[in-house]
Amino acid sequence: MAGGAKPELLVVCHTAPFLLADLEKEYTLHNLFLAEDREALLAEVGDRIRGILAGGMQGPDAALINRLPKLEIIASNSVGFDATDVAAANARGVPVTHTPDVLTDDVADLGMAFIIMAPRRIAESERFLRAGKWPQGRMDLGTNVRGKKLGILGLGRVGSALAKRAQGFGLDIGFYDIVPKNDTPYRVYSSLLEMAANSDILFVSCQGGESTRKLVSAEVLDALGPKGFLVNVARGTIVDQDALVAAVCEKRIAGAAVDVFEDEPNAPEELFAVENIIMTPHIASSTGETRRAMADLVLENLRLHFAGKPLKTPVRL
């Protein structure tokens, strides 16, 4: 870098303090995510920005990408990259990187926990006890998962890892994926609607973005039916949230467990007092080990780029 000057990066997402501290050792950071006056910041530093730090839920759109004349790389601190306009970046010749693989196990672990918790009513039972209701009588019965049909929407990294876990709990596994999958031991469905109609538990693990927006529709939820459970650890946009609220509140499905929402960090308040849904604040990859591994991939990709070397984990559309 000329004269020893640090490359200047624009931060457009919520970022862990330890990753910011590591980045500041090698780069000059400008935090657009926390800026009180975003326009003033962009007017001041936009012409000098060489890289963007993005996230799974906050990333640059085409307008921001095209506003930065010296932009060279976008590093997303997430496996999903639907918040970043990758097509606009590619049109500019700007590579986008992400952090695949390192968070697969944590996300699959939470998914498997949800698959057990929702039918067994574990979260509900914990609230029942804390509310002092046990002395008044026992809770209604839950449902076991052995032999139940699990339909996986998206047999990618997380879906495949989840399927291996589910086998150990005796679930009957099928999947639907727009990308053909060969040599899998699982039942293959020709449509999402067919899979929902034949599943006791529908597990959402496909990629987010416009191509999958509201893919799990009211029709899909009705096909899942009053004995079925929905589990979503992927993206909130994949499920029609209004339809989910209605289906849960009206008990047109048996219950749900969701870690992601359409408009994060906002979750639908209509569900706060509803017992047959488990909601967590997008914690699937929230372990110290995984977040450190994700940060390390971000750092490695940036270092490789500015050293003129091939990137470790570029997004490939």
pLDDT at 183: 86
For 281-313, how does the pLDDT look when each residue is reduced to its tens digit (9 = 90+)? 999 999 999 999 999 999 999 999 999 999 999
Q: What is the DSSP letter of 57?
A: S
For 103-128, how does the pLDDT look when each residue is reduced to its tens digit (9 = 90+)? 999 999 999 999 999 999 999 999 99
Residue 234 near residue 205, CB atoms below 8 Å: yes
DSSP calls for 182-242:
-S-SSEE-S-HHHHHHT-SEEEE-S--SGGGTT-B-HHHHHHH-TT-EEEE-S-GGGB-HH
Catalytic residue IDs? 235, 264, 282
SS3 51: strand
* Section 16-24 average pLDDT: 97
Structural domains of the chain sorted by starting position, each given as residue range(s) with its CATH number in brackets: 2-100+288-306 (3.40.50.720), 104-279 (3.40.50.720)
Bridge partners of 200?
none
For 260-273, how does the pLDDT look when each residue is reduced to its tens digit (9 = 90+)? 999 999 999 999 99
What DSSP element (H or E) covers 175?
strand 172-176
For 53-109, how does the pLDDT look when each residue is reduced to its tens digit (9 = 90+)? 999 999 999 999 999 999 999 999 999 999 999 999 999 999 999 999 999 999 999
Report strand pairing: 73-76 vs 96-97.
parallel
Q: How far is CA 237 from its chain centroid?
A: 10
Give Cα separations from 208 to 101, 211, 213, 220 (angstroms): 17, 7, 7, 17
pLDDT, averaged across the chain: 96
C-alpha to C-alpha distance for 248 and 88, rounded to whole angstroms: 38
Among residues 207, 199, 208, 206, the alpha carbon closest in space to that of 230 is found at 199
